[in-house]
Amino acid sequence: MPFFSTGRLNILYCESIGEIMAIHEIRHPLIRHKLGIMRSADLSTKSFRELAQEISALLTYEATKDFPLENTTIKGWCGNVVVEKIAGKKVTVVPILRAGIGMLEGVLSLVPGAKVSAVGIARNEETLEAATYLKKLVDDLDQRIALIIDPMLATGGSMVATIDMLKAAGCREIRALVLVAAPVGIEKVLSIHPDVEIYTASVDEGLNENGYIIPGLGDAGDRIFGTR
Ligand code: PRP
Ligand code: URA
């Protein structure tokens, strides 16, 4: 699958639908450095967790950079002053449990007023099919921008299931933040949901025979929660 890099926006030719699509691969030095440390097999659970939250905050910074602003007048120390505030829709952060929890604090550190819509999806390790076991969404999804968070976008099954669920509940603007993405997963998401914007710290090489991203991070949920 060919990629053409134009700075932070990678252009992906999606073979299944014959269209060119865009993915935001944020190649900032801080992100590259932190992700490099996360790839080490020897990293402690504590460090892995901290870095996941730090990169998530940096991805949030990028994923919100086009949020519209409006002027408002407030009382400042020397009288009235016109300041800017974010206008328009509010945000709901959508962690895909369990591993998505490992990004939540980082995202909320930048959008502290956001409501959280939790989605529980487990990937069957043999079939790689995504099965939903929890859905706890905010009730005004039609008025919110959803920021879906999950460290890993592998086959794309979990992400597509989450987007399907959010759209069925009325959500109209969705962005996906993932630490690492496989090209096949990106293609699956964008071919089904071309309106969704994907932000990632890295587009990796591909998947191994067990559906794990290579070089990837291993099992992100296990590394965040310290389970095996
Ligand atoms: C992992 C990961 C994604 C999914 C990605 O979760 O956090 O949700 O797999 O794979 P996919 O793109 O092929 O669907 P997993 O189902 O292992 O559950 P966990 O979060 O409980 O570890
Ligand atoms: N889930 C993970 O945690 N890691 C992968 O590489 C793929 C799916």
Q: What is the pLDDT of residues 85-139, one digit of tens each?
A: 999 879 999 999 999 999 999 999 999 999 999 999 999 989 999 999 999 999 9
Please name which of 221, 107, 104 lies closest in space to residue 154, comparing C-alpha atoms: 221
pLDDT of residue 16: 59
In short, whether 155's Cβ falls inside 6 Å of ligand 1 is yes
% the chain with pLDDT above 90: 87
Instruction: Please tell me the distance between residue 212's alpha carbon and the centre of ligand 2 in angstroms.
Output: 5
Pocket, ligand 2, Cβ cutoff 6 A: 99, 152, 154, 211-213, 216, 219-221
In short, whether 63's Cβ falls inside 6 Å of ligand 1 is no
| 150 annotated as belonging to a binding site for a ligand | yes
Compute the Cα dihedral for 16, 20, 24, 26 and give only its sign: positive
Ligand nearest to the CA of 158: 1
Topology, domain 3-225: Rossmann fold (3.40.50)
Instruction: Please tell me the distance between residue 152's alpha carbon and the centre of ligand 1 in angstroms.
Output: 7
| ipTM of the prediction | 0.98
Please name which of 156, 222, 165 lies closest in space to residue 185, comparing C-alpha atoms: 156
Instruction: Please tell me the distance between residue 63's alpha carbon and the centre of ligand 1 in angstroms.
Output: 22
Q: Using the CB atoms, write b or e for 56-74: b if 16+ within 10 Å.
A: bbbbbebbbeeeeeeeeee
Four-point Cα dihedral 105, 107, 111, 116, nearest 10: -70
| 49 annotated as belonging to a binding site for a ligand | no
CB 123 within 8 A of CB 130: yes
Residue-by-residue pLDDT tens, the chain, 228 positions = 545 554 556 766 666 566 666 789 999 999 999 999 999 999 999 999 999 999 999 999 999 999 999 999 999 999 999 999 999 879 999 999 999 999 999 999 999 999 999 999 999 989 999 999 999 999 999 999 999 999 999 999 999 999 999 999 999 999 999 999 999 999 999 999 999 999 999 999 999 999 999 999 999 999 999 997
pLDDT of residue 11: 66
The residues, any chain, with a CB within 8 Å of residue 180's CB and separated by 6 or more, are 35, 151, 152, 153, 200, 201, 202, 204, 213, 216, 217
3-state SS string for 87-98: CCCEEEEEEEEC
Which sequence spans correspond to the domains of the chain?
A: 3-225
| 151 annotated as belonging to a binding site for a ligand | yes
